[in-house]
Structures are given as C-alpha cells and as structure tokens.
Homo-oligomer: A and B are copies of this chain.
Amino acid sequence: ELRDALLASFGNQSLAGLKVLVSAGPTYEDIDPVRFIGNRSSGRMGFAVAAAAVQAGARVTLIAGPVSLATPAGVAQRIDVRSAAQMHAAVLSAAAQADIYIGAAAVGDYRPLEVSAQKLKKRDGTGLSLQLAENPDILASLSAQTAHPFLVGFAAETHDVASYAQGKLRHKGLDMIAANQVGDGLGFEAADNALTLYWADGMVELPRAAKPELARQLIAQVAERYRAARG
C-alpha cells in the first residue's frame, strides 16, 4: 500500500528510459484535389496513449494523420501526415529508433488506384467505378524486419472483435493487440472506449472508461509485457 501510494503521488515511471513511437488519427486517401476517402478516427485514443507514455517517463514521438488536436505536453516530436503511404514512410523511418511502437492510427486499407490531378467532373446520369489498391500494412512491414520495436496494434471492429484481433496478433506477428468494439458510444468519434488486450499467452479486459484513463491502463500493461519480453 505504501508502494502504491508512492507510485500514485510520484507517478509510475514504468517506461523511463524508453523511446515510444505512437501513430494516431485517420489517414485520408485523395481521389482528386478535392475529394478523399477518410475514416472516422478522431485521433483522441492515440493522443491519449502518447500523453500516457509521456507520463510513464518515455521519450515519445507522435505521428498524426489529419486531426484537429493539440500535441500533448511533453511529446518530444510530432510528425503530421495525410495519407497511409506517408504514415507508412514516417513510421518506418522513426521506428528504427524506437523501443516500442503503438499503432493507434486508423490507417486506410485502400487508396484510389489513380489520383486525378484535376477535380473529377460529374457526368450527369451515370455512376462511377472507383478502383482501389491495397495500402502496405505498417505493422506487418515492421514485423518482417529482423530488428524491430515491441509492436502493439489496435483492432477496431464492428463485429467479431475477439477473433479478428487474435488473428491479427498472430498474422502480423505483434507482441500485443488492443481490440475495441466500434459503436454504441465507444471507439471512433466518442469520448469513451473499452479495450481487450491480447498477447501470445494472455489477455486482460480494460472496461469502459474515458480515453485518457484507458490509455494509462494500456500503457501500464504495455510496460509490463515489454519488461517480460525484452526487459
């Protein structure tokens, strides 16, 4: 109890001396100079994770998609990107220096195969077929490297969250995945979230809470798993 009280008053420096890279927010994939494919990520969960990592003593680099959020106090570096390709390049570059990568961004899976340099004109009365190409997977790219940071992914799903998350953990070679159900006031564009964390031989539920509180709990679990795996 004394230890808990001391940790609570002085802060839990569970990531002291570590470099943490966090990606946050959506990506926008341009169709033409005006239109784009986006997603509903507000960036709030990722920004809360970056803030919690700072509080836990880490040196934090934050790579953000198009969001309207202030950089959390104490973040060492913020890099703003727009597209999935830009986020892929920025994360792979910064990951070389990181001990832990937490991929909290909602990276677009697809981009238009061709980006028009001019605004596409509407042709009255006809539909349109938009050809999409798959974007490179950031976590899978990192996982494929011989030396890479401790990898934490997110899985935001509308259904079958647990099975998708555990599949993604194995398939992408992650160290941990944070799964959340989207909808009903949780997840994207919401103040609250609820996460289930999975790793190779364990799991823990983090019940519904405001994103900053949930981020602190997530960071505590990441620190514990990191120390167990690489400490």
Interface residues of A (CB under 8 A from B): 28, 31-40, 68, 106, 108-110, 113, 117-119, 121-122, 124-134, 156-159, 164, 182-183, 188
Contact = CB atoms under 8 A, between A and B. Distances in A.
Given A34-B188, A130-B131, 20 more contacts: A34-B156, A34-B158, A34-B182, A35-B108, A36-B38, A36-B40, A37-B38, A109-B122, A110-B128, A113-B127, A118-B158, A118-B159, A119-B182, A124-B134, A125-B134, A127-B132, A127-B134, A128-B131, A129-B129, A129-B131
Contacts of A36: 37-40
Label chain A's interface by main secondary structure: loop
B183 A33 contact: yes
Nearest to A157: B119
Given A36-B37, A36-B40, A39-B35, A127 B118 contact: no
Contacts of A119: 156-159, 182
A34 B109 CA distance: 11
Contacts of A38: 28, 35-38
Q: State the number of copies, please.
A: 2
A35 B182 CA distance: 12
19 contacts: A31-B37, A33-B182, A34-B158, A34-B182, A35-B37, A35-B40, A35-B108, A36-B39, A37-B38, A110-B122, A119-B158, A119-B159, A122-B134, A127-B134, A128-B131, A128-B134, A129-B130, A129-B131, A129-B132
Nearest to A106: B34
